[in-house]
Amino acid sequence: MPEPFISDEGADAGRQLGWLKRLLPWIPIGAALAYPWTLRLFHEAIVAQPQSVVPAIWLILAFALPLSCLVSAWRCARRSGDAPPVVRRLAFVALAAPPLFVSTGVVSSLVHSPLPDLWTWSIFWLVLGIGAAVASSKGQSRPPGAMTGRLRVVHGISALAILLFVAFHLTNHLFGLFGPVIHAQVMAIGRLVYRSRFVEPVFVAILLFQVASGFKLAWRWSARRLDVAGVLQVGSGAYLAAFILTHLNSAFVSARWVHGIPTDWAWATGAPEGLLMDAWNIRLLPHYALGVFFVIAHVFCGLRTVLLAHGVRSSIANQVWACGLLGAGGVSLLITAALCGLRI
Ligand code: HEM
């Protein structure tokens, strides 16, 4: 006997919605699974036909796949009832595919893994997808917890210390446009401070605190309704957490401690092969480019929140934010071009 008040059409629509919801976690998982293939296809295309547009198309796709996860997260986060938090969180993790793929390669090499990177990568995402699908099929989780105001303030204050280093570090990489010698001269000045016996361990501790506190904040925020700026704030934070851990592991553990490689411009640019022509190094390109973009974007998302909290008109706060994002894109483009060999 048909249930009262539920027409066959309504039941069909409900069933379709159920299927759609079950499919949701697989959209970011699909993007993450496809990501390394776009890099491989880029490499094959640039070796075979360096003058054609085909390599550019694969490279654009390599950037578009993780960025599409930002759109997935936004679609899930517009209304809190739309998708369980696990699906949004999964989209934020998949946005961090570029640093996570670099880590997969570096850690696989450090532990002498017998599995090729692509296998490890695929197993990781399939397990994550199955876990997320099971969790999301269990329906909505607990209501979001209260926002920890004090943690936000401390996260913001330690960000200021990190910002000093990042401002120098990115300016240093912009000097790469004038060649490796000038880049090294500028880096030598910075190293006197950030590589000093006292500063370096304190700075690494601050970075780890930033990642841990950011993780806690992102966990809470990702269970809430978010606007575009909120999605970019949480998404860029998720990317940066993965980027910082990957970058520190590559520089400190893999390069300096294990292989005794100096962490200079040659190391960053994968010399002598370079970033573009080497099958492994190409993964560093989206990793670095989006790292630079998101670190600046994250700061401007935070600044927008502070401006709004201090009563600044939303139109002005949004203009400052939009200028910051434009600037982030410009700086990222210039540093990426320098890393790929552009000189002025
Ligand atoms: C294009 C992007 C980037 C490139 C090519 C790059 C490259 C490098 C290089 C070559 C070093 C070694 C520095 C040295 O030996 O003195 C380094 C260290 C470091 N980078 Fe980056 N970096 C990039 C972006 C970032 C960003 C966005 C952050 C921050 C979120 C960051 C954080 C760090 C930290 C914390 C260290 C360790 C500093 C130390 O030696 O104590 N990097 N990076």
pLDDT at 223: 86
Instruction: Give the DSSP H/E element, type plus range, for residue 34.
Output: helix 26-48
CA distance 179 to 59: 25
Asked whether residue 155 carries a pLDDT value surpassing 70, the answer given is yes
Structure token pair of residue 114: 């017998």
The residue type found at 215 is F
Contact partners, residue 167, CB within 8 Å, separation at least 6: none
Helix ranges restricted to H, the chain:
8-23, 26-48, 54-77, 85-95, 97-110, 117-137, 149-174, 180-194, 199-221, 228-248, 265-268, 284-309, 314-339
Instruction: Confirm or reject: Cβ of 166 under 6 Å from ligand 1.
Output: yes
Judged against a pLDDT cut of 90, whether residue 160 lies above it is answered with yes
Q: How far apart are CA 187 and CA 190, in angstroms?
A: 5
Q: Is 266 in the pocket of ligand 1 (CB under 6 A)?
A: no
Ligand 1 center–CA 172 separation, angstroms: 10
DSSP tag of 282: G
For residue 26, count CB atoms less than 10 angstroms from its CB and return exposed for 0-12, middle for 13-18, buried for 19 or more.
middle
User: Helix (H, G, I), strand (E, B), or coil: what is residue 144?
Assistant: coil
pLDDT confidence bin for 149, thresholds 50/70/90:
confident
pLDDT band at residue 136 under the 50/70/90 scheme: confident
pLDDT at 288: 98
Take atom 5 of ligand 1 and give the residue whose Cα is closest: 268
Indicate if the alpha-carbon torsion angle 331, 186, 203, 308 is positive or negative. negative
pLDDT tens, position by position, 175-188 = 999 999 999 999 99
User: Rounded to an integer, what distance in angstroms lies between the CA atom of residue 25 and that of residue 49?
Assistant: 36
In a domain, residue 78? The reply is: yes
Task: Classify residue 1: in a domain, yes or no.
Answer: no
169 Cα to the center of ligand 1, angstroms = 6
Which residues touch 148 (CB under 8 Å, ≥6 apart)?
Answer: 216, 217, 220
CB 304 within 8 A of CB 317: yes
How far apart CA 189 and CA 43 sit, in angstroms, is 36
Under the banding of pLDDT at 50, 70 and 90, the label for residue 143 is low
- Residue 2 falls within a domain, yes or no? no
Q: Is the CB of 291 under 6 A from ligand 1?
A: yes
Q: What is the distance between the alpha carbons of residues 109 and 116, in angstroms, rounded to a whole number? A: 10
- Determine the atom of ligand 1 nearest the C-alpha atom of 292: 27
Q: What is the pLDDT of residue 126?
A: 97
pLDDT band at 76 (very low <50, low <70, confident <90, very high): confident
CA separation for the pair 168, 112 (Å, rounded): 35
325 lies in a domain?
yes
Least confident of 142-146, 208-212, 273-277: 142-146
Residue 2: pLDDT band (50, 70, 90) is very low
What pLDDT is stored for residue 142 in this prediction? 59
pLDDT at 193 over 90: yes
Identify the pLDDT of residue 4: 38
Q: What is the pLDDT of residues 290-304, one digit of tens each?
A: 999 999 999 999 999
By residue range, what is the domain housing residue 322? Answer: 8-339
Position 22 confidence tier, pLDDT thresholds 50, 70, 90? confident
Does some domain include residue 133?
yes
Look up residue 302 and give its amino acid.
Answer: G
Return the number of other C-beta atoms located less than 10 Å from residue 323's C-beta: 11
Greater confidence (276 vs 80) lies with: 276
Question: Does residue 239 fall inside a structural domain?
Answer: yes
Q: Taking all residues of the chain, what is their mean pLDDT, rounded to a whole number?
A: 91
Q: How far is the CA of 2 from the centre of ligand 1 (A)?
A: 64
Ligand 1 neighbourhood includes 252 CB (under 6 angstroms): no
Number of domains comprising the chain:
1
Mean predicted confidence (pLDDT) in 131-152: 73
Q: Is the CB of 338 under 6 A from ligand 1?
A: no
Distance from Cα 263 to the centre of ligand 1, integer Å: 9
Atom number in ligand 1 closest to CA 269: 5
Distance between Cα 46 and ligand 1 center (Å):
28
Residue 61 confidence (pLDDT) above 70: yes
Is the pLDDT at 326 greater than 70, yes or no?
Answer: yes
Task: Report pLDDT for 79.
Answer: 55
107 located within any domain = yes
Structure confidence at residue 134 as a pLDDT band (50, 70, 90): confident
For residue 261, tell me if it sits in a domain.
yes
Give the number of the atom of ligand 1 that is nearest the alpha carbon of residue 335. Answer: 1
Find, among 107, 136, 110, 135, the residue nearest to 121 by Cα: 107
